[in-house]
Structure 1
């Protein structure tokens, strides 16, 4: 069972990194709204990689993020800035996906990519330290 959790976590991290690559590709193609969407999902998949180790999953995005903030950010496993950034990523993604007349800028897209990178990097550090402490 332990291997399954680790495999799922690794799968989700790979998914996060691939999605971040797509976000970068979208910016290069001047598809800024799509880049914002992909940046959000890259960070979201990274968060789900953390939850996979505890065998926790939710259907709704807001539940995933709320659980992560309550059980990982508020408990000091992740910096509070991560929680704030996730909220901003989600807000931008919702605007770019659902607001009819929302026009995303290149700067916004790059900002979202940087945020997703920061979250993915923080999750990688966490997962690495978690795997080391579990093997001791």
Structure 2
């Protein structure tokens, strides 16, 4: 496999890990809107890490969801739950970033964080199994 693709995938996964660490800190410190935003970006960067290995990408967030569904969910390569997590995380991030007086509970934020952990784990396992890349 092309080293540039592997390096880009690893870089994007590292960004995903960093966003997840920030989300955890935010969650632990009651910064729920920040945690929501960072869980979404963790999921987003995980998805784009996978895209790097396939040389696909999108310039929009909704485009990433569309391509993920088209290339990985519809063919049955990854569980449909991942598409729900990705699209749900985007909606929560948009709502929390742009709606005035957006309220989110600790429990909702914790669930989003756990979804992001699960999502990243599934992506990393898929990459290891299908691309023979050690992450």
Deviation at 1:85, TM superposition (A): 1.4
Q: Name segments (4+ residues, structure 1) moved above 4 Å.
A: none
Relative to the length of structure 1, the TM-score reads 0.93
**Which residue of structure 2 lines up, in the alignment, with residue 49 of structure 1?**
49
Deviation digits for residues 34-79 of structure 1, max 9, x if unmatched? 1000000000000000000111221111101110111101111110
| Alignment partners' CA distance in 1, 2:11 and 2:129 | 18
Q: Which sections of structure 1, spanning at least 5 residues, go unmatched? A: none
RMSD: 1.3
Q: In structure 2, what is the Cα distance between the partners aligned to 1:64 and 1:89?
A: 13
> Could you say which residue in structure 2 is the equivalent of 1:102?
102
Structure 2-normalised TM-score? 0.94
Q: Does 1:28 align with 2:21?
A: no
Residue aligning to 1:120: 120
Q: In the alignment, what sits opposite 1:58?
A: 58
Unaligned runs of 5+ residues in structure 2 are: none
- What is the Cα deviation at residue 103 of structure 1? 1.2
